[in-house]
Structure 1
Amino acid sequence: MAPLRLSLGCWDYDRMKALEDGRVKAEGIDLTFLNLRVEETFFRQLKYGDFDVSELSLSSYVLTLNAPEPPFIALPVFPSRMFRHQSIYVNLKAGIQSPSDLAGRRIGTPEFQMTAPVWQRGILEDEYGLKYDSPQYFTGNVEPSAVERTEKVPLKLADSVKIQPIPKGKCLAQMLADGEIDCLESATAPSTFGTHPDVGRLFPDAKEVEQDYFKRTGVFPIMHVIAVKRSVLKENPWVAQSLTKAFASSLDYAYDAIHERAALRYILPWMQFHVEETQAALCSEGNERWWQDGLTPQNTRTLEKFLEYSFKQGLANKKWEVKDLFAPGSLDAFVV
């Protein structure tokens, strides 16, 4: 029988390279890897359903579950993870000495439902007592753009949430530098960070803060999942396990690459020491992998926390269980 032809919209992360270049093949599947930046992938998949399989924002994916007939179901594969203390920026003249000073302040964010700000709002409330609906939120493009940024998924937020789009022609990066907003919660760094004297990080010692946060909570924030159209799995339920196994094999290649010592595979001269430092900070004794797929105890804890935030912030219409997020066959892929 001929392999099933499927398209995958995903960025070419190191953990995806072996799938992209063909070193790893999903059993029974002829996979067309479309190397696209996340913004394009998310927009095209959520608006038009352009791909059979795609990388998706964790937050946007959870919000698709609000629909009477959700179009996607995820695999427990996490192409993007990132600690988010480092990407909260402030105007240094706004008098913000601690996160609690953001109460009642003006905070910019590209989209309220974006995964990164969901994490940031949740962490600021959990760790520093800043109620998520205390600030005033302003949504829009971080940088100048001819296309106005809007929420990819319709929202029904609590009346206590104060949110409005920024004026046409404005961008959050410059508004932060000019003092029109006091803070920016984002995934990307604004162009005014490092180039304008009034723009800095809320946490100047972000690396140490993030490592301490992980040490105390065991949470390594998940940003994206791999999602499959439910119509594909309805006709071919075996695809969930086949794809999940292939992603796991591709991740193995990424680990092999960063441990290579014969020559520098990447342009980081102290890669070995960075790997050792990361293992010391994020790995439990006897475990050398800090980035894992599947429903490990750490991943389950992380997803539970995100689902708590999504529901509390008025995004998800119910507090989902972690097992509800994933195709059953994909979970079987990790059973030895």
Structure 2
Amino acid sequence: MGAMTLRTLLGDYPNTQALKRGEIASPLVGFEFDPVKTANRAFKRVVREGAFDVAELALVTFLQAKAYGKPLVLMPAVVGAGRYQHHCLVHNVERGRLRVAELAGKRIGIRAYAQTTVAWVRGILADDYGVDLNAIRWVTFEDGHLAEFADPPGVARAEGRSMVEMLLAGELDAAIIGTDLPDDPRLAPVLPDPHVAAAAWGARHAMVPINHMVAVDRTLCETRPEVVREVYRLLQESKAAARRDAGGPDLTPFGVEPNRHALELIIHYAYDQKLIPRRYAVDELFDDVTRVL
């Protein structure tokens, strides 16, 4: 069979740049990259419209897509660097110090209830700090990626203002903010010594949390497995091109086993937070093609 052009969603990261720039190519497959600048803004199109053959996807979004029967298979390729999450829960220090033990009854802003960064932070709060997540007044700013998943009862929706604006105005007591956390001296982490705590957490779990992996249309796996294997090879080459100039730990691990513990933990957190109906086994997220990549 001839070369196949794949509708593809990938963000701009060091490990995707060589592929997106066309510096790596294949006679088996070509890519029609979506022009969206921030990949997560197209995640709804992945799970609601089936708009892509290959797509970067947040892990909780993928888990919920599996729960609702979307025809997607996980590929064991991390895109976008993994990162520790302890510093992402912030408050406005001008309104007084907020301690972890004081979170019950507080209004905490989150972009969406099923956001992967939020799931990581809530899991850490519950498992490591004993926080009762049900005692917090969650405030969301947008719908989740899956149309079938509604915010739980008691979750409020903010309208017309940004999370940071509400936090600085005192309308929120804290907020979980990921990569778009502004550099503002008024915002400080709620968790004490978050980077020290994160390093200890990472040593204990022998991992760095990951947020986004690659998902593939199930039909592509069934009908053109050689194309799926070639996509993975190209992603590996693109990552290798970036790693040649990078030092430090590998924050974009490839393969099922290097990602197994992170996947087990986010499944545990997602189930405990009632984001998915059961605890999936890691191997269930892959099929016979992607499980052995």
TM-score with structure 1 setting the length: 0.79
Name the % identity: 24
CA 1:53/1:19 → structure 2, altered by over 3 Å: closer, same or farther? Answer: same
Picking from 188, 194, 199, the partner of 2:184 is: 194
- Check whether the contact 2:76–2:290 (CA below 8 A) recurs between aligned residues: yes
Counterparts of 2:2 and 2:161 in 1: how far apart (Å)?
52
Q: Residue 108 of structure 1 aligns to a residue in which SS?
A: strand
Superposition pairs of residues 118-129 of structure 1, within 5 angstroms: 118-129=119-130
| Cα distance in structure 1, aligned partners of 2:59 and 2:75 | 11
Check whether the contact 2:83–2:251 (CA below 8 A) recurs between aligned residues.
Answer: no
Q: C-alpha displacement at 1:79, in angstroms?
A: 0.5
1:151 maps onto 2:144 in alignment: yes
2-structure distance, mates of 1:71, 1:60: 13
Give the equivalent residue in structure 2 for 1:252: 240
Are residue 163 (structure 1) and residue 151 (structure 2) matched? no
Q: Distance in 1 between matches of 2:117 and 2:136?
A: 17
Task: Please give the alpha-carbon distance, in whole angstroms, between the structure 1 residues aligned to 2:35 and 2:281.
Answer: 31
Aligned equivalent of 1:17: 17
- Look up the match of 1:306: 266
Task: Give deviations 1:75-107, integer Å, cap 9, x for gaps.
Answer: 011113221112211122555553232122111
Are the counterparts in 2 of residues 41 and 56 from structure 1 also a CA contact under 8 Å?
no
**SS class of match (1:54):** strand
1:184 maps to a residue whose letter is A
Aligned partners of 2:204 and 2:99: how far apart in 1? Answer: 20
TM-score, length of structure 2 as denominator length: 0.90
Label 1:210 to 1:247 Cα distance change in 2 as closer, same or farther (>3 A): same
1:185-205 Cα distance to aligned partner (Å, 9 max, x none): 1223444x516x3x3222464
2: CA distance, partners of 1:290 / 1:11: 16
Change (3 A) 1:318 1:96: farther
Q: Deviations over 1:33-52 (max 9, x none)?
A: 33531233213223322221
CA distance in 1, matches of 2:254, 2:102: 37
Distance in 2 between the 1:209 and 1:131 partners?
20
1:240 to 207, 228, 237: 228
Larger radius of gyration: 1
**Distance apart, 1:256 and its partner CA:** 0.7
Q: Tell me if the contact between 2:100 and 2:129 (Cα under 8 Å) persists in the aligned partners.
A: yes
Which of 290, 294, 298 aligns to 2:255? It is: 294
- Measure, in 2, the Cα distance between the counterparts of 1:27 and 1:126: 48
Partners of 1:30 and 1:182 lie apart in 2 by 48
Please show how residues 94-243 of structure 1 align to structure 2 within 5 Å: 95-140=96-141, 149-153=142-146, 154-155=148-149, 162-166=154-158, 168-191=159-182, 193-194=183-184, 197=186, 199-203=187-191, 205-243=193-231
Q: How far does residue 152 in structure 1 lie from its aligned partner after superposition?
A: 2.0
Confirm or deny: 8 A CA contact 2:47 2:70 kept in the other structure. no
Q: CA RMSD in A?
A: 2.1
| In structure 1, C-alpha distance between the alignment counterparts of 2:195 and 2:145, rounded to whole Å | 31
Question: Residues 189 and 11 (structure 1 numbering): CA distance in 2 closer, same or farther, change over 3 Å?
Answer: closer
- Structure 2 vs 1, CA of residues 248 and 190 (structure 1 numbering), >3 Å: closer, same or farther? closer
Shift of 1:158: 6.2
Where in structure 1 are there 5+ consecutive unaligned residues? 141-148, 259-274, 280-288
Determine if contact 1:75/1:226 at 8 Å carries over to the other structure. Answer: yes
Counterparts in 2 of 1:158 and 1:34: CA distance versus 1, 3 Å: closer
Contact 1:12 1:35 in 2 (8 A): no
Query: Would the alpha carbon gap of residues 252 and 35 (structure 1) be closer, same or farther in structure 2, given more than 3 Å must change?
Result: farther
The structure-2 alpha-carbon separation of the partners of 1:315 and 1:27, relative to structure 1 and needing over 3 Å to count, comes to farther
List gaps (5 residues or longer) in structure 2.
Answer: none
